[in-house]
Amino acid sequence: MDRAYFDHAATTPLRSEVLQEMLPFFQENYGNASSLHQEGQTAARAVEKARNQLSSLIGCLPQEIVFTSGGTESDNMALKGTGILSRKKHIIVSSIEHHAVLYTAKALERAGYRLTILPVDTTGRLDPDTVKKAIAPDTYIVSVMMANNEIGTIQPIQEIAAIAHEAGVLMHTDAVQAVGNLPIHVDSLGCDLLSLSGHKFYGPKGTGALYIRKGTPIAAWMDGGEQEHGKRSGTHNTPGIVGLGKAAELALAELPQRMEHVQKMRDYLLEEIPKHIDEIRINGSLTNRLPNNVHISVKYIEGEGLLMRLDDAGFAVSTGSACSSHSLKTSHVLEAIGLDAVTAQGSLRITLGHDNQQKDVERFVPALVQVVASLRAMSPLYHTKKP
Amino acid sequence: MYTEKVLDHFRNPRNVGVIENADGIGEVGNPVCGDMMTFYIKVENNILTDVKYQTFGCGAAIAVSSMISEMAIGKTLEEASQLTNKMVAEALGGLPEQKHHCSNLGADALHKAIDHYRSKHQEPLLKNENNEGINTGNINGRKKMAKPKVDKDCCTGCGICIESCPTNSLELVDDVSTLVRPDTCTGCGACADACPLECITMEE
């Protein structure tokens, strides 16, 4: 059976070009990038090339990049690393941050920091004015994600960063979902720190970076051999970093075509699904939205069943239902945009990518119609509502 | 994460549907937690001649409903009353840990339907052919919902159970986890599973 992978917000397939760049760095060029001999210097040059490739993608200086193991590490480093050095102890985040930011902020709160979690509107957008009101004399950082991983809403980072800077507060953005899907330039965004992850844009898993604007006070995150300007010690993951660099190079070259490719399919789904299925809700903003994200709630059914039936029909999708999570809790993002718990149970996320084609989304709509009908037919809630 | 048996019953659920003029109806669960089942039974000469159900829920909830319907048909009411959620889980080759409390409700729903049937027969005046206005909540006072009981001396106030509660029913009171909203507690047991020191037991 033909399968269509619609879960690119979870991870993306590694591009062949990326793999080809990585392969020589497993066995042939195995040197440690910190070593002075030829083997080491070959690795060091590859790491610096990747740093250049990545800095071109986000418009920063190469020395402003610190390689990490991924988005989660970058978020932890950004919030905790600046917090350690700051005499001010107040953190502001939005209520729809990824857990890598939200739980990091809560961990700091347990350690004695003060935390403000700001609400968002029903489309998931944070009003910059609420940030302005929340900033206090002891605020050291504002962290707001650039684009949401569940509902795809894009935040007004530029405006929020301007407000933060006016008050002398650092601005961090988790851009894990945005890099490779949207044009990013750290200077026009105005952020001081930006997290990104390689496997979200066709690079290898276990790779990522934190952009740190020159002059931003941040403590060493990993102490040891002084790699990454002493900020993040540990032997360089050379093959991974090389892959991340190549993925960045491809993203920069292909961005306009990539956006157009997924956006066409996204708009097709956003238009067609409501035509064929009643009582659904489209979540997130229709205007400020990632070009590859479709997020709907199908009333009267539960998302895990929906996901599993679609999986059987050949489609890989995602859900924010409580049942599908280990914690058995409804997604905090869907709660924050005001979805009641029952509607949130029937949520479905489709995130498109390079490897999807129009014929895949055309096949998907009738499959979804059929799966929804079969689950609603056995739902006691649907029958109560529709006698 | 699911066994082949679970997947089979999820993909091809047996006996789905509604029995018109059912002899007993039982409803359990709560859509807020993600799982809700309504069971319908037909009884002739003390034997369950038909069992049908409707289920809102995850893969496990659908498979559990299907499995217990198969296990119950043809049994006497006494035999069917002996079926337990544990037996259903075993018949399915096991269920993931986090699904035990929330989704494995099939036996409870079946027992409620049987109780409903019995209550109608003990009190024929209440018989209602159209099954209207049935109180499926607490017939005959059978299984009351279990609630978490926290061992105060054991609790360190770490708050992990509070984070785990799907309905936010727990809070720290004097640094001890406390059920402050018993009305919203669905008895799912997620807190008991989450507690790293096993200080919480589910008690009826």
The CATH number of B4-141, from 3.90.1010.10, 1.10.3470.10, 3.40.190.10, 3.40.228.10, is 3.90.1010.10
Please tell me the predicted confidence (pLDDT) of residue A325: 64
Please tell me the predicted confidence (pLDDT) of residue B131: 36
* pLDDT at B130 > cutoff 60: no
Residue A90: which domain range?
A: 16-251
CATH class as words, domain B147-203: alpha beta
Please tell me the predicted confidence (pLDDT) of residue A48: 98
Which of A251, A280, A310 is the last residue in one of the domains? Answer: A251
The whole-angstrom distance between A347's CA and the closest CA on chain B is 12
DSSP state of A13: P
> Rounded to the nearest 5°, which phi and psi values hold at B203?
-125, 145
DSSP string across B131-161: -TT---SSGGG-SPPPEEEE-TTT-----HH
Please tell me the predicted confidence (pLDDT) of residue B51: 97
Residue A144, CA distances (Å) to A57, A155, A284, B201 in order: 20, 8, 16, 39
Please tell me the predicted confidence (pLDDT) of residue B145: 64
Tens digit of pLDDT at every position of chain A (387 positions): 789 999 999 999 999 999 999 999 999 999 999 999 999 999 999 999 999 999 999 999 999 999 999 999 999 999 999 999 999 999 999 999 999 999 999 999 999 999 999 999 999 999 999 999 999 999 999 999 999 999 999 999 999 999 999 999 999 999 999 999 999 999 999 999 999 999 999 999 999 999 999 999 999 999 999 999 999 999 999 999 999 999 999 999 999 999 999 999 999 999 999 999 999 999 999 999 999 999 999 999 999 999 999 999 999 999 977 666 666 678 899 999 999 888 999 999 999 999 999 999 999 999 999 999 999 999 999 876 654
Q: Report the pLDDT averaged over residues B68-90.
A: 95
Q: B26 and chain A: CB distance < 8 Å anywhere?
A: no
Choose the closest CB to A323 out of B11, B54, B58: B58
A110/A167 same-domain check:
yes
* pLDDT at B126 > cutoff 80: no
Burial class (CB in 10 A: 0-12, 13-18, 19+), A156: middle
Choose the closest CB to B59 out of A301, A305, A328: A305
Q: Count CB neighbours of B104 within 10 A.
A: 22
A246/A279 same-domain check:
no
Are A380 and B27 spatial neighbours (Cβ–Cβ below 8 Å)? yes
Please tell me the distance from the alpha carbon of residue A91 to that of residue A113, in angstroms, as a whole number.
7
CATH number of the CATH domain containing A30: 3.40.640.10
Please tell me the distance from the alpha carbon of residue A183 to that of residue A125, in angstroms, as a whole number.
19
The domain tally of chain A equals 2
Q: In what order do the strands lie in the sheet with B35-44?
A: B24-30, B35-44, B47-56
Q: Which of A61, A85, A323, A342 is catalytic?
A: A323
Please tell me the predicted confidence (pLDDT) of residue B29: 85
Q: Which residue has the tokens 């799907």?
A: B166
Per-residue b or e along B165-191, where b marks 16 or more CB atoms closer than 10 Å to that residue's CB:
bbbebbeeeeebbbbeeeeebbbbbbb
A53/A70 same-domain check:
yes
B129: confidence class by pLDDT, cuts 50, 70, 90: very low
CATH number of the CATH domain containing A340: 3.90.1150.10
The residue of chain B with its CA nearest to that of A303 is: B58
* pLDDT at B170 > cutoff 50: yes
DSSP string across A65-97: EEEESSHHHHHHHHHHHHHHH-S--EEEEETT-
Minimum mean pLDDT range among A267-271, B49-53, B81-85: B81-85
Residues of A in contact with B54 (CB under 8 A): 378-380, 383
The whole-angstrom distance between A314's CA and the closest CA on chain B is 14
A48/A116 same-domain check:
yes
A141/A194 same-domain check:
yes
Please tell me the distance from the alpha carbon of residue B13 to that of residue B11, in angstroms, as a whole number.
6
Please tell me the predicted confidence (pLDDT) of residue B38: 95
pLDDT above 70 covers a percentage of chain B that reads 87
Question: Known catalytic residue: A60?
Answer: no
> Rounded to the nearest 5°, which phi and psi values hold at A190?
80, 20
A192/A285 same-domain check:
no
A283/A210 same-domain check:
no
Spell out the domain ranges in chain B: 4-141, 147-203
Mutation target to probe the A interface, by most A beta carbons within 10 A, among B58, B62, B172, B191 is B58
Of residues A141 and B96, more confidently modeled = A141
The residue of chain B with its CA nearest to that of A325 is: B98
Which of A218, A251, A284 is the last residue in one of the domains? Answer: A251
Choose the closest CB to A304 out of B59, B163, B164: B59
A144/A31 same-domain check:
yes
Question: Would you state the structure tokens that stand for residue B188, as one six-digit string?
Answer: 């799912």
Residues of A in contact with B31 (CB under 8 A): 341-342, 345, 381
Q: A321 and chain B: CB distance < 8 Å anywhere?
A: yes
Q: A319 and chain B: CB distance < 8 Å anywhere?
A: no
**Which ipTM did the prediction report?**
0.82
| Residues B59, A379: C-beta atoms closer than 8 Å | no
Put simply, whether the predicted model's pTM sits higher than 0.95 gets the answer no
| Residues A342, B62: C-beta atoms closer than 8 Å | no
